[in-house]
Structure 1
Amino acid sequence: MSSATSSETVRNGSCLCGTVRFTVKGDPFHYLVCHCKNCQKSSGSAFMMNVWFKDKVFTMIAGQDALSFFQDTDTDTGKPLSRYFCSKCGSNVFFRMSPDLPRSDVHIVQGSAIEGSEIWAPRKESFLTNRLPWVNSLETKPKGKKSKL
């Protein structure tokens, strides 16, 4: 890895087939593991790894025309969001809050879609009442700790 600081590091991300490609600059400002039923169904797994980036550090580089979205209005928070996925391979790529809500200036990216995301650790788990019984509590980083997410 280069000597660039983590705020300058640019990481590549993509869907499974590589049609949809994007970059993120720096580290996410938030990372959580979501156990809500919609994230479980959307990911096809026990939870979804959601890393949060401001719009200004997220750049689409290919496949914009292959992106489709599902308007998820039946969320546990009651706040609708748009779940974007690749129309060719079906991979989840990111989701966005509705434009009229706080945090609408954020891309919430599926962690595994980003190369090098294994250096980050989640800060929080959400919707623990839906956590499947065979999933152990995750080791999370307290908010005040200085480390890579």
Structure 2
Amino acid sequence: MIEGGCNCGAIRYRAEGAPVVVAQCHCTNCRKQSGSAFSVNLLFKAAAVTHEGDLTVYEDTDTLSGNPVLRKFCGRCGSPIFSETTDGRGMLVVKAGTLDDPAPFAPAVSIWTATALPWVTLPEGQMTFEQNA
């Protein structure tokens, strides 16, 4: 079981099983949401993730893929917790920085590298996709 939560403790979550993939996302919107050069995301089937606490949702409609993304965060401390696409695939992104123990989850792929910042060095041998995988 994988557990995590927000900075203030108002949101806690659990994910059953291993993530489908762990990816570094270099899209502009993930950079803005993470406040960093990229976001490290664990992709799960939405049914595998449960949470406690009230999430605030921002519907991000100006995305590179053209699909709206529901960005879910703690309304109290602002920690980004989940992102969910509205494309009907039933997948949920868990933000790696909110994991209680993120160390085991090194990214396997980098996506949206066409918009990666020029000073970011991608890990050698890692699969990369100029757009979404």
Give the TM-score band, short-chain normalised: 0.7 to 0.9
Whether the 8 Å CA contact 2:110–2:126 is kept in 1: the answer is no
- Which 5+ residue runs of structure 2 have no aligned equivalent? 128-133
TM-score, normalised relative to structure 1: 0.79
Post-superposition shift, 1:140? 5.9
2:131 corresponding residue in structure 1: none
**Structure 1 counterpart of 2:84, one-letter code:** R
1:42 and 2:27 aligned? no
Post-superposition shift, 1:141? 5.4
1:59 corresponding residue in structure 2: 50
- Summarize the Cα distance change of 1:140–1:92 in structure 2 as closer, same or farther, 3 Å threshold: farther
**Structure 2 counterpart of 1:87, one-letter code:** G
- Structure 1 distance, partners of 2:9, 2:125, is 30
TM-score, normalised relative to structure 2: 0.88
- Structure 2 distance, partners of 1:84, 1:75, is 15
1:126 corresponding residue in structure 2: 111
- Which 5+ residue runs of structure 1 have no aligned equivalent? 1-9, 143-149
Give the total of aligned pairs.
Answer: 127
1:85 and 2:73 aligned? yes
Which structure 1 residue ranges, 4+ long, deviate > 4 Å from structure 2? Answer: 139-142
Per the alignment, in what secondary structure is the counterpart of residue 33 of structure 2? helix
- Structure 2 distance, partners of 1:141, 1:131, is 15
Identity %, equivalent residues: 37
- Cα RMSD (Å): 1.5
Larger radius of gyration: 1
1:117 corresponding residue in structure 2: 102
